[in-house]
């Protein structure tokens, strides 16, 4: 069945209206990242929580550049060909930023880098190890691409032993071909999470998906069950917000009560921790997860 997008635009409800970024802490984070020529997913993906997180000196650092080789239809990150270029000093720079802010918890993510022979997996491992050397008490969460589900690339991440390895499903199975890049896949993403758990059961796994793209309640529950069956420990559920008019329109704005309902359903399925709310994103309140 062909997926048809809404042509009209829905008015954003009050519970999704947020304050603009400002303040001393926000400026300090911005200037520091600029000095080290680092990006955050907070900026590149236009995250609605940027003001709240940066005020707490919390940021999700995006490695491997600003240009993604994939083109998911919900995502604000720039798409193109990075030409195989990476910054060899990036792992050390990230470790220095973590040290400068005294972070006890840090999230590292990236664009997809299908242009690289190892798809960027070595840079992830080097970054995790650099942070550990300079900040041995810091807990590290990585939010990774699928690395084409190749075991040897996933092994590099697993062997670096971050505290959490996350990989997002983004949406329900039926909508995946229409919402995500054609090189992505629902089963492929589930397999990434399964492989991590099979290779090292001590590493916590995490995934997330958005609501508001046209999914049904049965599909939401099936997605939660699939993640449970993949051994995922932590799930985030948030509202899809259209970044620009070029992106897929919002089909529905879910209420806070509906998000609470799906949190309860997930927990009743046996998922250890479900963070569900309109403004929840993959890294939202990541350091507060009780593990």
The Cα 164–Cα 143 span in angstroms is 8
Q: Does 184 carry a binding-site annotation? A: no
Question: Residues 39-70, buried b or exposed e (16+ Cβ, 10 A)?
Answer: bbbbbbbebbbbbbbbbeebbbbbbbbebbbb
CA dihedral (92, 65, 101, 291) in degrees, to 10, reads -100
Residue 53 marked in a binding site: yes
Helices marked H in the chain:
24-35, 41-44, 50-55, 90-101, 121-134, 151-160, 176-179, 186-199, 217-229, 256-268
The answer to the question of whether 189 is labelled as a binding residue is no
At 70, list the tokens. Answer: 């994939």
68 is in an annotated binding site: yes
42 annotated to a ligand binding site: yes
- Per the annotation, where are the binding residues? 42, 47, 53, 68, 72, 75, 283
Binding residues for [4Fe-4S] cluster: 42, 47, 53, 68, 72, 75, 283
């Amino acid at each position: 069945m062909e997926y048809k997008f809404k042509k009209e635009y829905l008015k954003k409800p009050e519970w999704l209206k947020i304050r603009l970024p400002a303040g001393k802490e926000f400026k300090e984070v911005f200037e520091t990242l600029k000095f080290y020529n680092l990006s955050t997913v907070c900026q590149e993906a236009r995250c609605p929580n940027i003001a709240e997180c940066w005020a707490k000196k919390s940021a999700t650092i995006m490695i491997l550049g600003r240009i993604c080789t994939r083109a998911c239809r919900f995502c604000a990150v720039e798409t193109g060909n990075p030409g195989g270029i990476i910054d060899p000093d990036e792992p050390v720079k990230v470790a220095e930023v973590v040290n400068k802010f005294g972070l006890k918890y840090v999230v590292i993510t990236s664009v997809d880098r299908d242009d690289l022979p190892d798809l960027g997996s070595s840079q992830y491992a080097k970054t995790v190890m650099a942070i550990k050397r300079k900040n041995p008490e810091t807990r590290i969460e990585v939010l990774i691409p699928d690395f084409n589900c190749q075991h040897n690339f996933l092994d590099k991440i697993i062997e670096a032993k971050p505290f959490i390895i996350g990989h997002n499903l983004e949406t329900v199975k039926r909508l995946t071909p229409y919402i995500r890049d054609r090189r992505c896949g629902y089963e492929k993403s589930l397999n990434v999470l399964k492989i991590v758990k099979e290779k090292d059961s001590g590493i916590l796994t995490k995934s997330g998906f958005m609501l508001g793209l046209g999914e049904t309640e049965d599909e939401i529950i099936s997605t939660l069950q699939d993640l449970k069956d993949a051994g995922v420990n932590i799930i985030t559920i948030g509202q899809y917000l259209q970044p620009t008019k070029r992106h897929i329109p919002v089909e529905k704005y879910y209420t806070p009560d509906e998000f609470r309902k799906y949190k309860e359903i997930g927990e009743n399925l046996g998922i250890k921790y479900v963070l569900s709310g309109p403004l929840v994103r993959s890294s939202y309140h990541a350091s507060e997860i009780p593990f």
